[in-house]
A and B are shown apart, each in its own frame.
Chain A
Amino acid sequence: MNERISNNQLLHLISANFKELIREPGVLFWGIVFPILMSLGLGIAFTGKKDVVTTIAVTGQNRLVYHQPTDSSSVIRRFLVANRSLVEKDKNGCISCKLTIPDDKLGNTTFIFQAMDWQQAMVLIKRGNINIILDEENGAVHYHFDPMNPDAQLTYLKLTRLFSTAGVVTGRTNAVIKPLTVSGTRYIDFLIPGLMAMGVMMSSMWGVSYAIIERRSKKLLRRMVATPMKRSNFLIALITVRVLMNFVEAGLLFLFAWLAFHITIQGNLAALFVLFFAGNFAFAGISIFISSHTAKTEIGNGLINAVSMPMMVLSGIFFSYHNFPEWSISTIQKFPLTLLADGMRSIMIEGAGIAETALPVAILAVTGLIFFVAGMKIFRWH
């Protein structure tokens, strides 16, 4: 190799950063395996039909004896008697009754009606084992549940429908369900671009910010600038290695999601590349800014979490930010992570191209530049 190239400081810095990165087993896990596991877990949890088993506490009755003559005051008993063929009784004679409603589109729903006293029911609801408690008064069923809990709401809707028919459950309905499992409309299609965007944020924060702060705390930064090393080379090397790694991580996550869930890129690949690069630039700038001053890794830790956690929650990585109040949405949409995640979704799912993503790209690039310049102004090498 040419002498000038083999002794080039930028290449040596890049190679040193790269070696340090790949020699850290945590990097492989958090950067590559963890996002894949997360997409697998969430993808399976929210994609396709699944069988639901729900336990329902019934208070105020010792046992749910359904074979005795119908008690006109008990809606629940009447229901169980009517569906006696579907009910599996336990050996104690229906302290708990299991009833399965078959459904090949939405997945089977199994209700386990369990007689218990109020106190016991409260313990189970606090533990999250059940989400609804039934009792009866004068022939009316009372439903006790947290109206803010969507699972409880769903159970309530299913139960009221069952009891109101008061007839035999067949599993057949007049409504025709046409499942939308076309790629682009599933939760996994929403999730993967978000995870890719979040990966850029997290790995820039830890790989750039934390690395700088740690080196400052170890006095390595000070030792390095006491040589003729060019300071810009130090930062360029750190960021270059991180950006390359981010491309690899996002690529592997996409590859996995393509193999496992057949997700696709509907829009322009070049636009995706440019947007992803702009996102990397924005977060590199932010990371430099965050790490510009402190020499304490604990403070660095806190700063990184203070910046990344709110964005992780608010920017709509795991669920749409349209769940947040109306007034907050226009602010949330300006967060760098939101810009990146929304932009990537628009390309990957909606088929957007360069023109549609030009604005977020420009905002991300300017954000990166502003933070980078500000960070360099106050950057402490010693």
Chain B
Amino acid sequence: MNTSANSMSNNLVIEVRKVHKSFKTVQAVRGIDLHIPQGQFVALLGPNGAGKTTLVEMIEGIQQPDKGDIFIMGKTWKGNEDYLRRIIGLSLQETHFIDKLSVWETLRLFASFFAIGKERCEEVLQLIALEEKRRAWVVNLSGGQRQRLAIGISLLNKPNILLLDEPTTGLDPNARREIWAILRKLKEQSQTSLILTTHYMEEAEQLCDYIVILDHGKILKEGTLTALLGEIQDLPLKPVETRRTTLDDLFISLTGRHLNE
């Protein structure tokens, strides 16, 4: 692939080109391009059914695109699975772990898949602030604690690329802020690139350098927060003056619907 050398020279860790994916009756992803450089935090923002999960799972090598190419660190999934699995960390939408295994046992189990030892598990346990839940069974954790465990597992191998599918959906504001804190710390301490999907505009605004707004399998708009909010001024439908303009206003002006429907 001559193009792979090209993308590495641009310092892109993820490159998605004209990717399509359909299920029986639904075109879930319809021609998406993404270019993500090292260290960038990217939000895929869109309502339910926008195609976020399908897109990230194709990047994760769990689903195959019908059309288009995906390069990760300049490599395709085909023939590089062993290598890519080691440098990627991920958390799926709504995964359940083994109910009657403790937090510590779950971390050790997943660490063993990467041949990673105890020390790293201790580090991760501290990072996700679950030390006092070390011996608790997964089934007895709160939603927020479970989600933190899922993120902890995704970080075990110190991934170059982290993909989180709706990490805070269904959590209360406190639990959500705890997860944001973990991800902020990660940004300070590492060069990890992040793709996270969400339908909460605050999450995209607060956490991410670059925001991609998806709907019906297509990119509606993408850019930095400032650039996107700047666009609202040029749109015919203006938000009420007294309130801060948000990404939701942008989404409404583009589609006539709220993000969070």
Contact = CB atoms under 8 A, between A and B. Distances in A.
B111 A226 contact: no
A228 B109 CA distance: 12
Contacts, number: 69
Nearest to A4: B115
Contact of A16 (B92, B105, B115): B105
A53 interface: no
A226 B95 CA distance: 12
Interface stretch (B27-35, B82-90, B124-132): B82-90
Q: How large is the interface on A (under 10, 10 to 19, 20 to 34, 35 or more residues)?
A: 20 to 34
A9 interface: yes
B113 A219 contact: no
Given A226-B90, A382-B62, A9 B100 contact: no
Interface string B125-159: 00000000000010000000000000000000000
Given A9-B115, A227-B110, A229-B113, A23 B100 contact: yes
Contacts of B82: 228
B68 interface: no
A3 B94 CA distance: 33
Contacts of A23: 100, 137
B105 A228 contact: no
Contacts of B109: 12-13, 16
A220 B146 CA distance: 14
Interface in B90-110: 90, 92, 94-101, 105, 108-110
A219 B95 contact: yes
A130 interface: no
B112 interface: yes
A218 interface: yes
Contacts of A15: 105
B170 to A, nearest CB: 15
Q: How large is the interface on B (under 10, 10 to 19, 20 to 34, 35 or more residues)?
A: 20 to 34
Contacts of A226: 60-62, 85, 88, 90, 92
A19 B105 contact: yes
A12 B110 CA distance: 9
Nearest to A221: B95
Contacts of A20: 98-101
Contacts of A3: 117
A219 B109 CA distance: 16
A10 to B, nearest CB: 9
A222 interface: yes
Nearest to A229: B113
Contacts of B95: 218-220, 222-223
Contact of B97 (A24, A220, A222): A220
Contacts of B97: 220, 223
B227 interface: no
A12 B85 contact: no
A68 interface: no
Contacts of A382: 62-63
Given A16-B105, A226-B85, A24 B113 contact: no
Interface of B: 60-63, 82, 85-86, 88, 90, 92, 94-101, 105, 108-118, 137
7 contacts: A19-B101, A219-B96, A220-B96, A223-B92, A226-B92, A227-B114, A382-B63
The 8 closest A-B pairs by CB, nearest first: A12-B112, A218-B96, A229-B113, A23-B100, A227-B113, A9-B112, A228-B85, A223-B95
